[in-house]
């Protein structure tokens, strides 16, 4: 059973554009929703995370939008830059349990110069 569905699988955006990646989850008990960025040959790096008590969180050019009723959350990258070209993963976790993340399948983002 796929607990987190991520889309799109790949995304091509022009420099300066907005990149949007979506995730949908099944279990309403999840209450921690991070996004990770991974460059080739590197481990995933935590970008931004949100708890379900807020609908939006912004850090620099990165924003998480959270829709609890729809069980969806998304990552928006404003003013996308070629250096943002990487694979992005959403993840979910239960706050009451051990530190176990369940990841989406990843989105390969390419920002064209």
Judged by CB under 8 A, which of 22, 102, 108, 110 binds other proteins?
Answer: 102
Judged by CB under 8 A, which of 61, 103, 108, 110 binds other proteins?
Answer: 103
Q: Choose between 32 and 110: whose C-beta lies nearer to other proteins.
A: 32
Please tell me whether residue 41 binds other proteins under the rule CB under 8 A: yes
Integer Cα distance of 37 and 85 in angstroms: 9
Binding mask 16-35 for other proteins (x = CB under 8 A): ----------------x-x-
SS (H, E, C) 34-90: EEEEECCCCCCEEEEEECCCCCEEEECCEEEEEECCCCEEEEEECCCCHHHCEEEEE
Judged by CB under 8 A, which of 7, 65, 93, 108 binds other proteins?
Answer: 93
């Amino acid at each position: 059973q796929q607990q987190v569905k991520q889309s799109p699988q790949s995304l091509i955006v022009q420099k300066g554009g907005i990149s949007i990646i979506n995730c949908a989850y099944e279990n309403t008990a999840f209450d921690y929703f991070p996004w990770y960025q991974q460059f080739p040959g590197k481990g995933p790096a935590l970008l931004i995370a949100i708890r379900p008590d807020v609908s939006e969180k912004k850090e620099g050019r990165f924003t998480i939008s959270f829709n609890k009723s729809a069980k969806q959350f998304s990552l928006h990258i404003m003013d996308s830059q070629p250096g943002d070209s990487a694979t992005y993963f959403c993840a979910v976790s239960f706050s009451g349990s051990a530190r176990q993340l369940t990841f989406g399948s990843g989105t390969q983002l390419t920002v064209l110069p």
